Amino acid sequence: ETGVTQTPRHLVMGMTNKKSLKCEQHLGHNAMYWYKQSAKKPLELMFVYSLEERVENNSVPSRFSPECPNSSHLFLHLHTLQPEDSALYLCASSQDTGKETQYFGPGTRLLVL
């Protein structure tokens, strides 16, 4: 248990659906991250938030929309996704963006039909 939880753990959605992924960290950290993990590819950093402000948007398509209402919660809103967006979406947190150690949640396995 790393102190980072994600819900749901599994999600199947159609290309016209709208869904949201949720991440919560119980570590008192100030920085949170979204990563995409596809089969046989390196983890890809998508978004970084520091003290609820976005500090990184790594050329992610607009069909992915992050939201960070406070330093403990992070959402990823999904709409009109494509089948190639199917992947494991990982949330992570760190004490702040200057601290290297990132703690990962278990991920949400997303399948887009």
Task: From 5, 96, 106, select the one nearest 55 (Cα to Cα).
Answer: 96
Nearer to other proteins by Cβ, of 2 and 65: the residue is 2
Tokens describing residue 109: 């396995």
- Rounded CA-CA distance 28/30 in Å is 7
**Cβ of residue 41: shortest distance to other proteins, in angstroms?**
6
Nearer to other proteins by Cβ, of 21 and 90: the residue is 90
**Cβ of residue 93: shortest distance to other proteins, in angstroms?**
11
Positions in the binding site for other proteins (CB under 8 A): 2, 4, 31, 33, 40-43, 45, 48, 56, 90, 92, 94, 97-107
Tokens describing residue 58: 């790594």
**Cβ of residue 16: shortest distance to other proteins, in angstroms?**
29
Nearer to other proteins by Cβ, of 15 and 58: the residue is 58
Whether residue 69 has a cis bond before it, omega within 30° of 0? no
Task: From 99, 94, 61, select the one nearest 77 (Cα to Cα).
Answer: 61
Nearer to other proteins by Cβ, of 75 and 104: the residue is 104
Tokens describing residue 19: 């869904």
